[in-house]
Amino acid sequence: MIVAEQKPLEDIIRMVRPYKKVLLLGCGTCTTVCNAGGETEVAFLHDALRMAEARAGDGRREYSEATLKRQCDPEFLEHLTERVEGVDAVVSLACGTGVQALAERFADLPVFPGVNTSFIGMAVEWGVWDERCAACGDCRLEDTGGICPITRCTKGILNGPCAGPKKGHCEVSPDMECAWILIYRRLERLGQLERMRRYYPPRNFRPISRPRRIVGKAGLEARGSHGDVTA
């Protein structure tokens, strides 16, 4: 899933300062799961903004709250049409895609990001998420024992470790395991070390020349989780 973290409160205050009626808009998918932008965080942000304004003697703003199931789907955005009437600005707690989807749908409405979109990752323990996928468009996990060197090696190199690790950890952080040592150990365990001994040529960066587009309509009916449009 996409992992994000809330922006510092002072940044959000700075963004909404010129506006009177502000909608705080959560997202019910990724940013809910990573505790950065769901219904709960919208309520917390609302309280935090109120308290900050009270302290600063600046209580002239009117906030409202809402959370969509997903901000990145145009279908869900339609449910907002009435909610945004009379609103001066929206602070979106969705990922960067959600913020942009809002901006595209509501041409006259200023939209601000309430979170920093960080990465695609997973929870490794309660409240801790680690990056696992760089969305490079050219997956090579079959050769690396299911451990991604592009994401988990700080240099994203393809032919084995650099000389930097100490005690199994990356030169940039004693908290980060060396991806290539992990890959070696896993391939050894699987009896597939020959995969690491192969030469891997330089990456092809064309799949990620930005912005990317995927067209996947062929033979698919609108159904399943992507087709059932319910708020």
Partner 1 sequence: MATSLLEEKLLSGEFVVTTEIGPPKGADVSGVIHHVDLLKDMVDAINVTDHQSSVMRYPSLGACLLIKERGGEPVLQITCRDRNRLALQAEVLFAYSRGIQNILCLTGDSVDVGDHKDAKPVFDLDSVQLLRMIRTMESGVDMAGNQLAGAPKCCIGASVHPEADFMEAQLVKFDKKVEAGAQFFQTQGVFDLAAFRRFMQYASQFDVKILAGFIVLSSAGMARYMNSSVPGITVPQELIDELAAVEKGKGLAKGVEIAARFIRTIREEGLCHGVHIMAVGNESVVPELLAAAELVGVHR
Query: Which residues contact partner 1 by CB under 8 A?
Result: 154-168, 170-173, 178, 180-181, 183-184, 188, 193, 196-197, 199, 201-203, 205
- Choose between 21 and 155: whose C-beta lies nearer to partner 1: 155
C-beta closer to partner 1: residue 113 or 161: 161
Supply the DSSP string of 18-70, one letter for each residue: T-SEEEEEEESSHHHHTTSSSHHHHHHHHHHHHHHHHHHT----EEEEEEES-
Q: Which is nearer to partner 1, 125 or 194 (CB)?
A: 194
Q: Are 90 and 42 in contact (CB under 8 A)?
A: no
Closest approach, Cβ 166 to partner 1, in A, equals 6
Query: What is the closest distance, in whole angstroms, from the C-beta atom of residue 193 to partner 1 in the complex?
Result: 8
Tell me how far, at minimum, the Cβ of 165 lies from partner 1, in Å.
5
- Nearer to partner 1 by Cβ, of 8 and 86: the residue is 8
Task: Give the total residue count for the chain.
Answer: 231
Angle 143-149-152 (CA atoms, 0-180°, nearest 5)? 145
Q: How many helices (H) and strands (E) does the chain have?
A: 9, 7
* Shortest Cβ 219–partner 1 spacing (Å): 37
